[in-house]
């Protein structure tokens, strides 16, 4: 898991205090709602009918038990005792008081979390494979690339006010658990004919009122060119995307209007101007970021569990549950266990504070204190 350095922590703390001042000015009537709106949206805060909603980013869907307990504490202290986990690896609190939101952001900063750019027409949280680093089917761990893209795109001055919100997915598995083709950009790790690992880049996916599947804009991109190529795509979209109609402002509409061949030509021409510049990604930088995602201290275990087999024979209900919720791990003797947030007759994604605390306890006991969303 990536850990904040001194600069990261200072920046997030300063953002909290800036927003605290902005909220105070709004409550005193010194700024109007129209003036306050872009400020709160850049901090993940939405205005709803009866309360405010805060969306908190969970990079690559990865939480420590300490962070999950903090999310439970916020739900219990500031909300109605629960949070809503989203399909794109965030958590939302839907019943907040405006005057308390700076305190919530300060609590999040204590555990290296934030709500920056989780709303508004900006670069959003990177959607990642929840099994990354553990899935037996992945080409390699995709989390370092999600983190590299996050560091490049978060607070990027050129991409803070895009025509519309912008979403990127990163995956390294042939079993696409990120729904990558329904994102503005899909970054898919693959090998070329020479055996080199790079990326297939797809663009123009999305759901909503005009669902579209992303199309390949570059079949193979070397790792060193990842950021420069993404920058070229964002520049073309920022320049040519519509700002006069919210329903036609997404990248998918631009791709549909111009066609993938024309978009590809525009992007490639832009990329030629910047590919050899400072955005070139050296192997040393990839290794530096990847060092934050080293495997936990696994034990050497028998790949087959006799006890698990016995438990399945003893209980058909458990056998059915295990067949659905237990997945093969890349480390022999370990498994990936899924806990569904889709209760029968309930609201998908909701988790109570007590449930979050219970999962945190289980992760400490069985999963090296690590949870994925």
pLDDT tens track for 322-363 = 999 999 999 999 999 999 999 988 899 999 999 999 999 999
Q: Please check whether residue 306 is in contact with residue 259, taking contact to mean a CB–CB distance below 8 angstroms.
A: no
* Average pLDDT of span 67-95: 98
Q: Which of 191, 202, 197 is nearest to 230 (CA)?
A: 202
Contact residues for 231 (Cβ-Cβ < 8 A; gap 6+): 152, 274, 279
Question: What is the structure's pLDDT at 301?
Answer: 96
Q: What percent of the chain has pLDDT over 90?
A: 96
Domains of the chain and CATH, by start: 6-110 (3.90.480.20), 134-292 (3.30.413.10)
Q: So what's the pLDDT on residue 198? A: 99
Residue 128's nearest CA partner among 1, 268, 283 is 1
Mean pLDDT across 123-131: 95
The pLDDT-based confidence of 373 (bands split at 50, 70, 90) is very high
- Give dist(CA 243, CA 287) in Å, integer: 39
Average pLDDT score over residue span 21-46: 97
Burial class (CB in 10 A: 0-12, 13-18, 19+), 220: middle
Q: Model confidence over 199-239: pLDDT tens digits?
A: 999 999 999 999 999 999 999 999 999 999 999 999 999 99
3-class DSSP state for residue 26?
A: helix
Residues 4-29 pLDDT 10s: 999 999 999 999 999 999 999 999 99
The pTM of this model reads 0.95
Give the model's pLDDT for residue 40. 97
pLDDT for residue 1:
83
pLDDT at 160: 86
With the C-alpha atoms ordered 104, 340, 317, 328, is the resulting torsion angle positive or negative? negative
């Amino acid at each position: 898991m990536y850990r904040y350095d001194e600069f990261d922590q200072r920046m997030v703390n300063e953002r909290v205090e800036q927003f605290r001042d902005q909220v105070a000015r709004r409550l005193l009537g010194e700024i109007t709602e129209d003036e306050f709106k872009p400020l709160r949206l850049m901090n993940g805060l939405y205005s709803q009918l009866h309360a405010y909603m805060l969306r908190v980013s969970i990079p690559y869907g990865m939480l420590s038990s300490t962070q999950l307990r903090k999310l439970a504490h916020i739900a219990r202290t500031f909300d109605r005792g629960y949070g809503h986990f989203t399909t794109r690896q965030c958590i939302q609190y839907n019943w907040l008081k405006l005057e308390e939101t700076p305190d919530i952001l300060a609590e999040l900063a204590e555990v290296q979390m934030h709500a920056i750019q989780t709303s508004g027409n900006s670069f959003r949280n990177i959607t990642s494979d929840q099994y990354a680093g553990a899935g037996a089917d992945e080409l390699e761990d995709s989390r370092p690339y999600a983190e590299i893209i996050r560091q490049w795109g978060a607070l990027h001055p050129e991409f803070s006010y895009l025509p519309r919100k912008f979403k990127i997915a990163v995956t390294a598995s042939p079993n696409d658990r990120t729904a990558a083709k329904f994102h503005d950009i899909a970054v898919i790790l693959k090998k070329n004919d020479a055996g080199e690992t790079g990326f297939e880049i797809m663009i123009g996916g999305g759901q909503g009122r005009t669902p579209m599947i992303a199309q390949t804009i570059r079949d193979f991109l070397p790792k060193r060119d990842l950021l420069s190529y993404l920058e070229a795509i964002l520049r073309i979209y920022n320049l040519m995307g519509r700002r006069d109609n919210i329903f036609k402002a997404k990248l998918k509409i631009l791709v549909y209007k111009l066609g993938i061949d024309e978009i590809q030509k525009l992007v490639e021409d832009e990329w030629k101007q910047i590919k050899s510049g400072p955005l070139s990604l050296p192997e040393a930088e990839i290794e530096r970021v990847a060092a934050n995602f080293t495997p936990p201290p696994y034990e050497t275990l028998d790949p087959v569990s006799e006890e698990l087999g016995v438990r399945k024979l003893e209980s058909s209900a458990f056998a059915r549950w295990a067949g659905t919720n237990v997945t093969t791990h890349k480390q022999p003797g370990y498994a990936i266990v899924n806990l569904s947030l889709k209760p029968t007759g309930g609201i998908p994604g909701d988790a109570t504070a007590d449930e979050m605390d219970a999962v945190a306890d289980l992760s400490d006991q069985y999963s090296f204190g690590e949870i994925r969303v």
